Structure 1
Amino acid sequence: MKLILTAPVPKLGEPGDIVVVKDGYGRNYLLPHRFAIRWTRGAETQIGQIKRARDAKEIKTREQAEEVRGQLEDFKVQIPVQAGDTGRLFGAVTPADIVLAVKRAGGPALDKRSIEIDKPIKTIGTHSVGVKLHEAVKGHVAVETVAK
């Protein structure tokens, strides 16, 4: 089955790549989860749009990644959360929450898939969260959870 990826799939490809996979994998996993669309001649024109959007968001060089890491090291973002009397959160802080908090604080635009949380953030306090910026560059941002 010939498909066009619309999202990054580990060990398969990036958005905009044309891949050939077994019918069952494409029909039962990639298409229902909207990781891919069926390949047609008309869909080939969408590849250019997907690749342009990916290039606009992507950190291309190691120097750019180092620059973004320098910006992130200075950031300490606060995320207001609902918590109990003991300081435990009702739920956990998600990568999307962290990306939104960095954006609101005036930081660089990040992708939620680049956020690496070692263990779930479920308590009030300051936590260090990893951000994969490039294959060889990883930054950290300080995240402080505060009760509403």
Structure 2
Amino acid sequence: MEVILLEDVKTLGKKGQIVKVNDGYARNFILPKKLGIEATNENRNNLKLQKANAEKVAKQQLDDAKQMAEKLKELSVEVKIRAGEGGRTFGSVSTKEISTAAKAQLGLDLDKKKIQLDEPIRTMGTHIVNIKLHKDVVGKLSVKVTQQ
């Protein structure tokens, strides 16, 4: 019997694959546990449609991320921190502060977890920060750190 896997099964394959298994294994294990469905013509067509839709959505997300990366190149955010004599800062600029400043100044809702800092920003001036927009796309945002 051929089944379409609905979840990853360690010994058989990954989600979405069509695999051939013994009838008893399918009836007693895979089908009751909802790990797969019988590979009828209707189910095969549904699988093809789902894969096509998933590819379309993934391509759209990638295009959106690339557009956002281009937009971010031209933008700049200003973050004010406390500093003492000689421009020495108290503390550092965190991803949360950058995210909050981007929302307030630019109207961009950037997740603080997607902002990547090699090390905390502890100096005044302009710094380039990486923002992971997609698994394949990283945008760069200019962050200007000034004295409060």
TM-score of the two chains, using structure 1 as the length reference: 0.57
- Alignment identity in percent? 36
Structure 1 CA distance, aligned partners of 2:129 and 2:144?
10
Contact 1:72 1:140 in 2 (8 A): yes
Structure 2 CA distance, aligned partners of 1:137 and 1:88?
34
CA apart distance, 1:106: 1.9
Structure 1 CA distance, aligned partners of 2:127 and 2:146?
11
Contact 1:78 1:146 in 2 (8 A): yes
Aligned match of 1:71: 71
Structure 1 window deviating more from structure 2 (130-139 vs 84-93): it is 84-93
Aligned match of 2:122: 122
Bigger Rg, structure 1 or 2 = 2
Structure 1 residues 1-148: aligned runs within 5 Å:
61-148=61-148
Q: Which secondary structure state, in structure 1, belongs to the residue aligned with residue 100 of structure 2?
A: helix
Higher strand share: 1
CA deviation vs aligned residue, 1:38-80 (integer Å, no higher than 9, x gap): xxxxxxxxxxxxxxxxxxxxxx710110111122111111111
CA apart distance, 1:107: 4.1
CA apart distance, 1:119: 1.6
Contact 1:127 1:144 in 2 (8 A): yes
Structure 2 CA distance, aligned partners of 1:92 and 1:144?
13
CA apart distance, 1:108: 2.4
Structure 2 residues without counterparts, runs of 5 or longer: 1-59
CA apart distance, 1:87: 1.6
CA deviation vs aligned residue, 1:64-107 (integer Å, no higher than 9, x gap): 10111122111111111101112221011000100111111224
TM-score of the two chains, using structure 2 as the length reference: 0.57
Count the aligned residue pairs. 89
Structure 2 CA distance, aligned partners of 1:106 and 1:146?
17
RMSD over aligned Cα atoms: 1.2
